[in-house]
Amino acid sequence: MSQEIEDHPTMRALILEEPGTIGLRQVPIPTAGPGEVLVRVKAAPTCGTDLKAFLRGHPQIPMPGVFGHEYSGIVAAVGSDAPFELGDHVMGVHSAPCQDCAWCQKGQENLCDSIMATKVLGSYAEYLLIPARVAKLNLFHKPAWLSFERAALLEPLACVAHGIERLKTNEDDRVLIIGPGAIGLMFVAALRLLGYRNIVLAGRNQTRLAIGERFGAESVALDQVQGHFDLVIECTGKVEVWERSLDHVRRGGNLMLFGGCPAGSKACFDTSRMHYDEITLLSPFHFGTKAVRTARSWLLDPEFDLSPLVTAERDLSEGEAVFRDLEAGIGLKYIFRP
């Protein structure tokens, strides 16, 4: 453990008190147990899931509590048998499968019975404790040339990689991505990296659509989408958009419902279209270890530039203002620099 932690055993942390209320508190710095790693957070991006938690709560994010789950940083302390050393620069995701349950044995690590049991929460703080399972499977050394800001995008990019793993399409297919948020834009960037050239990005936010154009997509207003597509990827998490997405899929095409809707939501589809046009429906969730490694390989490609996704850097003291801006559609991803 560093001398700094011994001298100052508390840290600043953003606490989600209740929906709509964030406070900056001094809390104890976690202690690394066997196999665990304590990371001095250098970059912690905002995320759509954390925005949802701020607006209405989230079943996986206890309140009151420290939140945030995207991160990169420097190892500040290690428990016995931890696979890292003090001073290592690291990047990682917030969960890891057990690799032993029935789902893991079937190759569906994202559905692991206990994948959320040891999840990482609390990156909006000066220090973040990485559980042993995550440290073993899904925490990685960060190359010196890779910025902390870029490395911290590993988790959302792993979600995108998992979705792409499920596809049975090819680079000549015509793709429609609905929703120019961070995830939709990451889909544009990743598919372009993989050789897809016919990508249309639909939405309402002109600033975000412009970023999609920089990534290589054609942009269009959501209500002006025309024609049918081999693949439609829905990234808004709104029931009414889920329902309308089917209208844009060609016969024999693929519909990916990526955006998560609130629990208890019901969606209605034209069963005739779904059945007689033989449309394949996918709704990928989370990621497994393969997707994490795929996403990391993309981030290690110097030509793969996601910097346009980052709106600005912010201090923890600006936490509530950041989420109010995101609620109003101002900005895309902010980076907290604890």
Q: Is the pLDDT of residue 227 over 90?
A: yes
Ranges of CATH 3.40.50.720 domains, the chain: 167-282
- Which of residues 338 and 1 earns the better pLDDT score? 338
Cα distance between residue 236 and residue 258, in whole Å: 8
Q: DSSP letters along 274-299, please?
A: HHHTT-EEE---S--HHHHHHHHHHH
**Percent of all residues in the chain with a pLDDT value above 90, rounded to a whole number:** 91
Q: CATH number of the domain at 3-158+287-336, please?
A: 3.90.180.10
Tell whether the torsion through CA atoms of 60, 238, 306 and 313 is positive or negative.
Answer: negative
Task: Judge contact between 162 and 287, C-beta under 8 A.
Answer: yes
Q: In the structure, what pLDDT confidence band is assigned to residue 59 with cuts at 50, 70 and 90?
A: confident
**Percent of all residues in the chain with a pLDDT value above 70, rounded to a whole number:** 98
At 3 the pLDDT is: 61
Out of 3.40.50.720, 3.90.1150.10, 1.10.10.10, 3.40.50.300, select the CATH number for domain 167-282: 3.40.50.720
Ranges of CATH 3.90.180.10 domains, the chain: 3-158+287-336
